[in-house]
Structure 1
Amino acid sequence: MTNATLEASVLDKVETGLFIAGEWVPAEGGKTLAVVDPATGDTIKEIADASVADGLKALDAAVAAQDEWAATAPRVRGELLRRAFDLLQERKEEFALLMTLEMGKPLAEARGEVAYGGEFLRWFSEEAVRISGRYGLNPEGTGHMVVSQRPVGPSFFITPWNFPLAMATRKIAPALAAGCTVVIKPPALTPLTTIAFVQLLEEVGLPKGVVNVIATSTSSAVSGPIIEDPRLRKLSFTGSTGVGRALMKQAATGILRTSMELGGNAPFVVFGDADLDKAVDGAMLAKFRNIGQACTAANRFIVHESVAAEFSKRVAERVAGFSVGRGTEDGVNIGPLIDDKAVATTDELVQDAVGKGAKILTGGTVIDGAGTFYAPTVLGDVSADARLLKEEIFGPVLGITTFSTEDEAVRLANDTEYGLVSYVFTQDLARGQRMIEKLATGMMGLNTGLVSNAAAPFGGIKQSGIGREGGAEGIHEYLDTKYTLIPVS
């Protein structure tokens, strides 16, 4: 089978409709949206483009299915998730190729996302049967306290384009495990992987109405009425801080439970005693994974002045050796950015830094031709007033600044409104412990450039959001706590 034939086969298997109440249906009025391969600019599929009415029908279906799904035995819910995990492993190559086609990441990274995204299914299949409460005599001895957990109820998910499988499984799996029904709105730029995943859920026996999918090109118009509907009880969003802030205002009307995984501006701190081999390897992961298009991507490389020259030289050599191209091609390290706007924004940040004194060690240019490519870039001597030290880059650009003391490193790392993740490289155990205490982030990688794991609580502080996804904490985002007092007779 040729590559083109394989690609066509994978795309042909993806449904084109909305999934509402267990049926694949066209959008109201037959409206469609085009999904584009960012590596070529070609349309690869057209799918249903949901209207406001379609969105409310999806919520109707989730509400109708809620009571029965909540009453389903935890073991049954868990085993359904486990079957989904197993089937996803069988089809990992198809899912990886689909992600590469619609989002652009290299196939090797897409395979990694299938593995990572699948782990949320396995993890929460196990957590479904561990929902617990407590029972005990109150301190006064006048009654017994029963503390129990119950599903929050119908939930609405808005997911981003950069991790189209993992962002879906990270939200859907805990919701289903807890007994909540779902309406998910995948991104218009990369909806196909989420749709294919819901097809998989349908295949393993998911009851009708438990998960509903509505892709749309008019996100705010369709989302607004769903969020404002008093039957909705939970909103989970992954995306920019600005959009998250607006959604939280909407959610306030109904006092919705919210989970917000928002923007990041991760510091990557390299101390003078760091193992530079590990630091450089960590930098490649933390910066260039997903072409730099990740909220966890390292944005600010804060390097001790004693090792800055050597660190800069090593990372520039590694980055200069990257292969740029379509993610389906062998050996490609860097695929396209998601669209023209992303390329323009990345170049603006680079030119701003260069205009303020930064030195281009490699890259620094838009790549002409088909697709939306930007050369992987390393900048040295980035000044404190450069925009790329303040704004989320979301592109393959590594900017280096220096520090001289530990206190200065902490000040520079915390000098941001964001607080999602930080990375620290040091061989001093005591210093590492101090960084755990002092860096204002919800997550931290100590001598590693990759922290995400389904068994760990993912989330940030400050303007990076509220709530946690994954880990033992993740399922509690979909559970309400109820206290009952039984008097002693």
Structure 2
Amino acid sequence: MSTVSETGVVDAVAKELFIGGKWTQAAGGRTFPVHDPATGEVLCEVADAAPEDGMAALDAAVAAQADWAAHPPRERGEILRASFEALMARQEELALLMTLEMGKPLAEARGEIAYAAEFFRWFAEEAVRIDGGYAVAPNGSGRFLVAKQPVGPSLLITPWNFPMAMGTRKIGPAVAAGCTMVIKPAAQTPLSMLALAQIMVDAGLPDGVLNVLTTTSSGAVMEPLIRDGRARKLSFTGSTAVGRKLLEQCSDKVLRTSMELGGNAPFLVFDDADIDAAVDGAMQAKMRNIGEACTAANRFYVQRGVADEFARRLTERMAALPIGRGTEDGVVVGPLIDQAAVEKVSGLVSDAASRGAEVLTGGSTVDGPGNFYRPTVLTGVPADARMADEEIFGPVAPISVFDTEEEALAAANNTEYGLVGYVYTNDLKRALRVCERIETGMVGLNQGIVSNPAAPFGGVKQSGLGREGGTVGIEEFLETKYIAVNL
């Protein structure tokens, strides 16, 4: 159990909107409740923004853009560095706050705070490395100058599953590039973002650079901002279905977009793989964040020679995981975010079982309050099962068997998604062949976690556009300007 007071960390967070450097009530004084998914209890009420609040936030971002773009890159980086240090200094209380609103166990929440902070440290260093170019024209009569400039006011929309890290992954490069922002966190988990806003203010972020809208009316609040035309960038993390709608809205004013959307990650285990390492990697790739991650392994394809052994070992590991409220000592599996998530996971497992899949462990909810579902392993999952096509977003590992490399690749690529894939093999030639041919933006080769602030994160096909993190992450918030000089 954490020694930090649960009531204290919730009480310490501002519950209002943050617009133009001021905490302010929503229009009409509207609020909405934030629930603890482990108990169903209300943690607090926060401001519920209306469309006019959204427009006020955009006004503030637009008003601050010119000064912020001219702000020295070194100072922008120092604000990020100070924010990084504050996040790490307050890791314990911020982790508890996240566990209370999202449900993940404290150990994972602490890990997310450290991961989130790393985006600020990384982009603090990138802020002073924005460069351009100088070249002689091919005919020698002129010069080409290339400059990188901030894209301008940016709209950021973040999901509930990583409520701090998905914010810093977008805010970090925007701050480093010199863009002002309006950010809308998910209604299920607004407290982490509200706490982050205060941390950045305390680190010296000027008024109007970051504006935070908490709301239960996401479409009504954000669509007018997208269609307004003054914002020049949208960065969204969430479902592919919502991403498609946002792309349609962005087309009206031709906004720059970067989108990290759904996943359907294949996890391939070949018969020459280290099975111990493959099971360890499977536990990481499946059970990080209770399986509520776009990078979570969604489909396990195991070569026939090792399929039974892999399934047996994975079942033993999954069945032994302690379930409970994330604040309790030793808990590894916390609640899903809400009852709708439980119903979706239950429906997917029931569908697979009805089509012939065998449930080796789990396959049921947990009695009592909270949104709990038992860690589950299924074998013999047919290709027509819903979970072969749909993102599970829960602690369920469906296993299918393959015989040949071609068969494995065909199954892995048989999806509209392409965020990440996992490959376990000790054959170097096979590793290179499969990693090159698998249709994903990222591959974990003999490892179950790929996310790293210093590496480019993103997918292909309907898993998104653009990249976050790495040396390319800041480019999403920069425009390239070419200046022709006639000598």
- TM-score with structure 2 setting the length: 0.99
Match of 2:277 in 1: 278
Match of 1:386 in 2: 385
**In 2, Cα distance between equivalents of 1:396 and 1:167:** 21
Match of 2:91 in 1: 92
Residue 223 of structure 2 is aligned to residue 224 of structure 1: yes
**In 1, Cα distance between equivalents of 2:444 and 2:28:** 49
Structure 2 residue identity aligned to 1:60: D
**In 2, Cα distance between equivalents of 1:368 and 1:36:** 19
Structure 1 residue identity aligned to 2:110: R
Match of 2:373 in 1: 374
Structure 2 residue identity aligned to 1:265: N
8 A Cα contact 2:4 2:93, kept in partner: no
Match of 2:233 in 1: 234
What is the CA distance between 1:205 and its match in structure 2?
A: 1.0
Structure 2 residue identity aligned to 1:482: K
Q: Deviations over 1:426-485 (max 9, x none)?
A: 000111111121000000000000000000000000000100000000000000000011
Residue 438 of structure 2 is aligned to residue 439 of structure 1: yes
Structure 1 residue identity aligned to 2:10: L
Match of 1:78 in 2: 77
What SS does the corresponding residue of 2:384 show, helix, strand or coil? coil
Structure 1 residue identity aligned to 2:18: F
**In 2, Cα distance between equivalents of 1:291 and 1:78:** 34
Q: Deviations over 1:337-359 (max 9, x none)?
A: 00000000000000000001111
Residue 24 of structure 2 is aligned to residue 25 of structure 1: yes
What is the CA distance between 1:5 and its match in structure 2?
A: 7.1
What SS does the corresponding residue of 2:62 show, helix, strand or coil? helix
What SS does the corresponding residue of 2:401 show, helix, strand or coil? strand
8 A Cα contact 2:4 2:96, kept in partner: no
**In 1, Cα distance between equivalents of 2:188 and 2:168:** 18
**In 2, Cα distance between equivalents of 1:47 and 1:405:** 54
What is the CA distance between 1:87 and its match in structure 2?
A: 0.8
Q: Which moved more, 1:379-388 or 1:120-129?
A: 379-388
What SS does the corresponding residue of 1:164 show, helix, strand or coil? coil
**In 1, Cα distance between equivalents of 2:70 and 2:411:** 51
**In 2, Cα distance between equivalents of 1:437 and 1:300:** 19
Structure 1 residue identity aligned to 2:202: E
What SS does the corresponding residue of 1:437 show, helix, strand or coil? helix
Match of 1:141 in 2: 140
- TM-score with structure 1 setting the length: 0.99
**In 2, Cα distance between equivalents of 1:337 and 1:419:** 24
Kindly report the root-mean-square deviation, in angstroms, between the aligned alpha carbons of the 2 structures.
Answer: 0.8
**In 2, Cα distance between equivalents of 1:125 and 1:182:** 17
Match of 1:201 in 2: 200
Residue 242 of structure 2 is aligned to residue 243 of structure 1: yes
Match of 1:304 in 2: 303
Structure 1 residue identity aligned to 2:66: D
**In 1, Cα distance between equivalents of 2:248 and 2:135:** 39
Uncovered stretches (5+) of structure 1, i.e. residues with no partner: none
Structure 1 residue identity aligned to 2:29: G
8 A Cα contact 2:9 2:93, kept in partner: yes
What SS does the corresponding residue of 2:230 show, helix, strand or coil? coil
What is the CA distance between 1:232 and its match in structure 2?
A: 0.6
What SS does the corresponding residue of 1:157 show, helix, strand or coil? strand
What SS does the corresponding residue of 2:305 show, helix, strand or coil? coil
What is the CA distance between 1:370 and its match in structure 2?
A: 0.3
Structure 1 residue identity aligned to 2:400: T
Q: Deviations over 1:168-195 (max 9, x none)?
A: 0000000000000000001000010011
**In 2, Cα distance between equivalents of 1:66 and 1:230:** 14
8 A Cα contact 2:2 2:96, kept in partner: no
**In 2, Cα distance between equivalents of 1:249 and 1:164:** 26
**In 2, Cα distance between equivalents of 1:3 and 1:107:** 8
What is the CA distance between 1:136 and its match in structure 2?
A: 1.3
Structure 1 residue identity aligned to 2:426: Q
Uncovered stretches (5+) of structure 2, i.e. residues with no partner: none
Residue 45 of structure 2 is aligned to residue 46 of structure 1: yes
What is the CA distance between 1:319 and its match in structure 2?
A: 0.5
Match of 1:413 in 2: 412
**In 1, Cα distance between equivalents of 2:26 and 2:53:** 7
What is the CA distance between 1:4 and its match in structure 2?
A: 8.9
**In 1, Cα distance between equivalents of 2:57 and 2:387:** 40
**In 1, Cα distance between equivalents of 2:244 and 2:220:** 16
**In 2, Cα distance between equivalents of 1:230 and 1:466:** 21
What is the CA distance between 1:390 and its match in structure 2?
A: 0.8
Structure 2 residue identity aligned to 1:23: K
8 A Cα contact 2:4 2:92, kept in partner: no
Structure 1 residue identity aligned to 2:122: W
Residue 474 of structure 2 is aligned to residue 463 of structure 1: no
Structure 1 residue identity aligned to 2:182: V
What SS does the corresponding residue of 1:183 show, helix, strand or coil? strand
Structure 2 residue identity aligned to 1:293: E
Residue 359 of structure 2 is aligned to residue 360 of structure 1: yes
**In 2, Cα distance between equivalents of 1:56 and 1:145:** 39
What is the CA distance between 1:142 and its match in structure 2?
A: 1.3
Structure 2 residue identity aligned to 1:299: N
8 A Cα contact 2:380 2:400, kept in partner: yes
Q: Percent identity?
A: 61
What SS does the corresponding residue of 1:302 show, helix, strand or coil? strand
Structure 2 residue identity aligned to 1:350: V
What is the CA distance between 1:3 and its match in structure 2?
A: 5.8
**In 2, Cα distance between equivalents of 1:316 and 1:158:** 37
What is the CA distance between 1:369 and its match in structure 2?
A: 1.0
What is the CA distance between 1:230 and its match in structure 2?
A: 1.1
What is the CA distance between 1:367 and its match in structure 2?
A: 1.2
**In 1, Cα distance between equivalents of 2:453 and 2:414:** 29
Match of 1:124 in 2: 123
Match of 1:340 in 2: 339
Match of 1:294 in 2: 293
**In 2, Cα distance between equivalents of 1:47 and 1:343:** 25
Match of 2:472 in 1: 473
Q: Tell me how many residue pairs correspond in the alignment.
A: 487
What SS does the corresponding residue of 2:333 show, helix, strand or coil? coil
What is the CA distance between 1:113 and its match in structure 2?
A: 0.4
Q: Deviations over 1:134-181 (max 9, x none)?
A: 101111111000001000000001100000000000000000000000
**In 1, Cα distance between equivalents of 2:453 and 2:218:** 28
